Amino acid sequence: MAYQSTNPYDGKILQTFDPINANQLEEKLHRASVCFSDDWRSRSYADRAAVLSRAAAILRERPEEFAKLITLEMGKLLPQSIGEVALSAAILDYYAQNAERFLAPEKLVTAKGEALVESSPIGVLFGVEPWNYPYYQIARFAAPNLMAGNVVMVKHASSVPQCALAFERLMQEAGAPAGAYTNLFISKDQVSQVIDDPRIRGVALTGSEAAGAVVAARAGQNLKKTTMELGGSDAFIVLEDADLDKAVKCAVSGRMGNSGQACTASKRFIVVEALADRFLEKFQAALENFKPGDPLDKQTTLAPLSSAEALENLLGQVQRAVAGGARVVMGGERIDRTGAFMQPTILTDISEKNPAYKQEFFGPVALFFRVPDEDAAVALANDSPFGLGGSVFTQDIERGKQLARRIDTGMVFINAPASSSPELPFGGVKNSGYGRELSGAGIQEFVNKKLIRVA
């Protein structure tokens, strides 16, 4: 499996990298293990924070340099790539500033004597990361775990190798010792080898259900802790008392950000009958304004999908949905031009028997449903194998909170599409995975919560 950087805007191959060989992999595993045992785990929080803070500062000093690689490799609009760089810097700073507080010893109330729980690092961690947010995905895995005293090894998606190398160089430039952060260009067979290696003490994956099932099973055979951040088919519920213009604006940003290629993108638009026709009309009109172009041009509003393969997969899903009875309100086809461009698309009349009903659409395809009331909206939102995020739109905030509590997901946003911030826990339930990243919860996943008891 080659690691190949291909520009989805014009299909040109930019760079190709071969997987490392067995000797090189062993050298990297050994270096990481030694770095953990002889150096990184024993450093103070202040020493670790200095490295992460410097990395954040570098990202802020050279945002377009880092952002351009994202756009060239997976097609994200340049302003959104710059935003991803800024968010990654914020995550690095957040853990540099808060890790010691999050992991402070906890005194327990006990009938006799004294008891406390201390948090300590567990060792070398292995992360398998996707292409859609090439720096942000790494930052939210690496930052908390490096600050906890672990060291990390990352197998990035094969389509973003330049971003993978850029993040490794970033950590080196920021002063991380050799082995604290390691990029791995490895094959699928080598992924299994790394998971099996006794020096690896935990595994984190962000990606598809299929990849999560394989990696989690392999780690389970080795009795290793895992976290899984998988797919989503987030419901976007609009109640009859919603601010319609705001709901439509948020629907557009929630569906079209990163060309719809986000696990927390708004995907199923569930609108109460009283507003359904007006919402659909305004939503369609807004999507018709998107214009394809070079994602490096800041005037472009519609970027390509990440690859020709991603485009073909999405087109196939739409065709199968239509064959199953869905109606195309708009779009549904590739755009007739060079590059992996998909028309913004709305599908409706999707029955429970339609394959689209319970699938995730990773691209600018919106599924539209009309329902009689909020109870029906909740039932439809929960009738999904996924449980990542969702949105509720209503001008009655207490009503929104009550409805949010009934939705079976890890996150619900009221009067906003899903978003990410360092202080907000990120994760889901059901087939969307388990474990949390970001916030105080994210740093607790791969530490030893050790009880110390004085009789």
pLDDT of amino acid 2: 85
Task: Indicate if 62 and 10 belong to the same structural domain.
Answer: yes
Instruction: Please tell me whether residues 208 and 313 are part of one structural domain.
Output: no
Do 269 and 351 reside in the same domain of the chain? yes
pLDDT tens, 262-273?
A: 999 999 999 999
Report which DSSP code applies to 358.
G
Residue range 320-333: mean pLDDT, rounded? 98
Residues 219, 249, single domain; the answer is no
Q: What are the C-alpha distances in Å from 129 to residues 84, 132, 146, 204, 382?
A: 15, 9, 16, 8, 27
Q: Going by C-beta distance under 8 Å and a sequence separation of 6 or more, which residues neighbour residue 422?
A: 90, 91, 93, 94, 95, 438, 439
Domain check: are 174 and 289 in the same one?
no
Q: Residues 254, 132: one domain? A: no
Is 427 within the bounds of a domain?
A: no
Q: What is the CATH number of the domain that holds 116?
A: 3.40.605.10
What mean pLDDT, rounded, does the chain reach?
98
For residue 320, the enclosing domain spans 234-422
Question: Is 114's pLDDT higher than 90?
Answer: yes
User: Can you tell me the distance from the alpha carbon of 62 to that of 49, in angstroms, rounded to the nearest whole number?
Assistant: 20
CB 455 within 8 A of CB 113: yes
Is 394 found in the same domain as 317? yes
Tell me, yes or no, whether 418 and 440 share the same domain.
Answer: no
Count how many domains the chain has.
2
Give the catalytic positions in this structure: 229, 263
342 domain-assigned: yes
Statement to judge: residues 395 and 315 lie in one domain: yes
Q: Which amino acid is at 37?
A: S
Q: Do 259 and 223 belong together in one domain?
A: no
**In what side-by-side order are the strands of the sheet with 327-330?**
327-330, 345-348, 365-371, 266-272, 234-238, 390-393, 413-414
Model pLDDT, residue 1: 67
Q: Give the residue-averaged pLDDT of 147-165.
A: 98
Over range 219-248, report the average pLDDT.
98
Question: 334 lies in a domain?
Answer: yes
379 and 320 fall within a common domain: yes
pTM, 2 dp: 0.97
Q: What is the pLDDT of residues 366-410, one digit of tens each?
A: 999 999 999 999 999 999 999 999 999 999 999 999 999 999 999
Beta pairing class for 345-348 and 327-330: antiparallel
Instruction: Please check whether residue 327 lies inside any domain of the structure.
Output: yes
Express each pLDDT in 408-454 by its tens digit: 999 999 999 999 999 999 999 999 999 999 999 999 999 999 999 99
Q: Same domain, yes or no, for 334 and 450?
A: no
